[in-house]
Amino acid sequence: MDGDDDGVRIRDDVCRRSRPVVDLCCDQVRGQRRGDEHDRGEHMRPAPTAGDVAMARTSYDWLASHGGLLHWVEAMPETGKAVVASWHPSWGSDTRVHELARDSVGSGLHGYGGMPYAWLPSLGTVLVNGVTGQIEHAKALPPTRHSYGDLAQSGDELLCVREDDQGDQLVAVDVVSANRRVLRETDGFLASPRSQGRRLAWTQWSKDVMPWDSCEVWVANRVVGGPISEPVRVAGGPNESAIQPQWGEDGSLYFMSDRTGWWNLYRWRSGLVDAVAPIDADCATAPWESTYADYVLLPGSRIGMIVQHGPRHHLVVVQPDGGVAPVSLPYTSVKPYLAALDSRIALIGSAPDHAQEIALVDTNGSEGVEVVRAGTVLATALSVPEEIQVESSRAEVTVLFYPAVGQDAPAPLIVRPHPGPTHQSKLRLDWEVQFFTSRGFAVADVDYRGSTGYGRTFRKALDGNWGRFDVEDCRNAALHLIAVGRAAAGEVFISGASAGGYTALRAVSEDGPFALAVARSAIVDPQRWTVTAPRFQRPHATILSHEDAKVVPARVQRPVLLIHGARDTVAPINDVTELATALRTRKMLVRMLSFDGVGHYFSDPAALSAALDAELDAYRAVLRGTGLPAAE
């Protein structure tokens, strides 16, 4: 997927079980399957099945605090729903759930979502329906043609952003009367409304740019029940991405900006902007979804903040004098949803040997960690990655290399370009990786040029070179691992989802070490994608693409397994179906699996399980040397 792909994105998979409905190949890749037990000794733990992996993808997102409570969105594969959960320190291990009668909580704002709930002091929780995109509450709110998200509390009034094909509107909603007032509108995009007293802040960007390239922070005066006035641009411009505004108690406005080449924290007060904590590192996440919070304001004028060094995340506390104090954590990956509960920082953290969990972290120097909501644990041996630097055509790229469990000899290798492509590999437990490493495969996650967490210059290196630099970096990562004896030549595969699927398809369209490509939810034609992508992402396709960007079936040199959801609104299935037909004619199609009722993210456990099994079957067919089935 694009953006942050760790979560179970139930909002577009319509919460129903799926079945494969399209198979364009006359044979299935079957063959003799190994059992789920390792054959290297009884001391090894059982490998997780594809079904285990699919059911282990419980996800936590949109963490926030209100009135001494923590709230978050919890997506649960076992029920097929996403709900809002609440927790108070006095409740112990108990949580309370706020859910919709039939559908999941979720927002499709800008294609990828914005905060889908808010807590109003006298009215309780307000939710966005992940299927209809409408706001739901005990008081009926008449539906409109828009998709809602980015909900924020302003007294007993609700602020939000809504979108239709014409553009965005920043709206104030009186939930009791159902009155909606448009405060700001544009044919571009709006996000992150934040109010304090009679002041309102928000971000906005033009319809032909992406917010990580160019985004502005604005401030205006506002009277509750009335319009806004005297809007002023605080930061941002054509070559600056200013994001994540938050008001301080003293009336200062904080925000992130990459004006130095790194996303760092700044403060606007008395009409002047100053740097809060200059660091040669990205301290913000590329804003695929609205309402990210990579920093949180703490009592005593302190600030908790995530600092990224490539795929590794750190937590620091910025002191009132500007000093930066690291906070020791058991996590190497922290989601961009920091919240404060008194002086403690609430976060969603994970590590390569630690599933994501919600925890409270002390900031008083004791570095205590209280787990609020634990992650899913599977009884299996884990592969822990090594960070490797690989030279690739005047660039150095980071690779997370996961060795095959229990194997020291060169192993079959799966190279994985991440989705996005303006995204990054995550240094955290990924059960899909463990599914393969527990079966004798090594896995390499590649942060190719264009990845985030390495500054603006590296992030923009892929502009106009999509399908070139990313492919080159993945190829060089594979060749390096072969050269140093970590991967077996002739047994190297490439697998990706969404933009990563596009990279995989392009990689087998030229000479290289890859014996097979697996493309899930893949983009096929970036030029056509400028029209078929969600409105938010159409500029992305234009910025990344070039005249030779399309995957051309005649150029594909290695077999391809295609896996796609029939309800994919990010990368519509038609392009993939056309590609499958052409590859079948050339006998380069292993199989095409299409799943009815499934969207871009393969949230449905049955669909994901079938996809993983099909991928494993294809790899094993190559390793057996019996050949892959070719379409008639």
Q: What is the DSSP string of 133-187?
A: --EE-SS-----SSEEEEEEEETTEEEEEEEETTEEEEEEEETTTTEEEEEEEES
Tokens of 439: 């079966």
| Pairwise CA distance, residues 498 & 494, whole Å | 13
Order across the sheet with 96-98: list the strands: 59-66, 69-76, 81-87, 96-98
| Pairwise CA distance, residues 266 & 256, whole Å | 6
Q: 553 in a domain, yes or no?
A: yes
Q: 50 in a domain, yes or no?
A: yes
Phi and psi, residue 44, nearest 5° = -75, 140
Res. 402: pLDDT tops 70: yes
Looking at residues 69-98, what average pLDDT do you find?
Answer: 91
Does a cis peptide bond (omega within 30 degrees of 0) precede residue 336?
Answer: no
pLDDT tens digits for range 108-122:
999 999 999 999 888
- DSSP code, position 32: P
Range of the domain at 455: 10-55+381-624
Distances (CA, A) of 592 to 1, 33, 366, 479: 18, 20, 54, 28
Tokens of 605: 């456990």
Burial (CB count within 10 angstroms: exposed 0-12, middle 13-18, buried 19+), residue 41: exposed
| Pairwise CA distance, residues 590 & 563, whole Å | 11
Mean residue pLDDT of the chain comes to: 90
Q: 23 in a domain, yes or no?
A: yes
Distances (CA, A) of 382 to 98, 412, 439, 532: 35, 17, 11, 40
Res. 355: pLDDT tops 80: yes
Q: What are the E-state strand segments in 352-404?
A: 354-361, 369-373, 386-391, 396-402
Asked whether the beta carbons of 236 and 242 are under 8 A apart, the reply is: yes
Phi and psi, residue 394, nearest 5° = 65, 15
| Pairwise CA distance, residues 109 & 115, whole Å | 9
- DSSP code, position 404: P
Q: Please tell me which residue, 35 or 397, carries the higher pLDDT value.
A: 397
Share of the chain above pLDDT 90, in %: 80
Distances (CA, A) of 360 to 73, 494, 571: 17, 38, 37
Q: What CATH number has the domain bearing residue 446?
A: 3.40.50.1820
Looking at residues 42-48, what average pLDDT do you find?
Answer: 68
Q: 233 in a domain, yes or no?
A: no
Task: Give the confidence band of 226 by pLDDT, cuts at 50, 70, 90.
Answer: confident
Strand bridging mode 487-497 / 411-417:
parallel
CA quadruple 89, 92, 98, 104: dihedral, nearest 10: 110
Asked whether the beta carbons of 110 and 189 are under 8 A apart, the reply is: yes
> Scanning the structure block, which residue is given the tokens 């904080």?
254
pLDDT tens digits for range 248-262:
999 999 999 999 999
Q: 258 in a domain, yes or no?
A: no
Predicted pLDDT of residue 44: 57
Other beta carbons within 10 angstroms of residue 162's beta carbon come to 25
Looking at residues 572-595, what average pLDDT do you find?
Answer: 96
Res. 515: pLDDT tops 70: yes
Task: Give the confidence band of 393 by pLDDT, cuts at 50, 70, 90.
Answer: confident
Task: Give the confidence band of 5 by pLDDT, cuts at 50, 70, 90.
Answer: low
Number of domains the chain is built from: 1
For the entire predicted model, the pTM comes to: 0.92
Task: Give the confidence band of 627 by pLDDT, cuts at 50, 70, 90.
Answer: low
Task: Classify 436 as helix, strand or coil.
Answer: helix
Share of the chain above pLDDT 70, in %: 92
**575-579 own/partner pairs: CB under 8 Å, 24+ apart:** 575/523, 575/524, 575/525, 575/528, 575/532, 576/519, 576/522, 576/524, 577/22, 577/24, 578/524, 579/505, 579/524, 579/551, 579/553
Predicted pLDDT of residue 379: 82
Q: 240 in a domain, yes or no?
A: no
Q: 126 in a domain, yes or no?
A: no
- DSSP code, position 115: -
Q: 191 in a domain, yes or no?
A: no
Q: Give strand pairing partners of 372.
A: none
Q: What is the per-residue burial (b if ≥16 Cβ within 10 Å, else e) of 513-549?
A: bbbbbbbbbbbbbbebbbebbbbbbbbbbbbbbeeeb
Res. 224: pLDDT tops 80: no
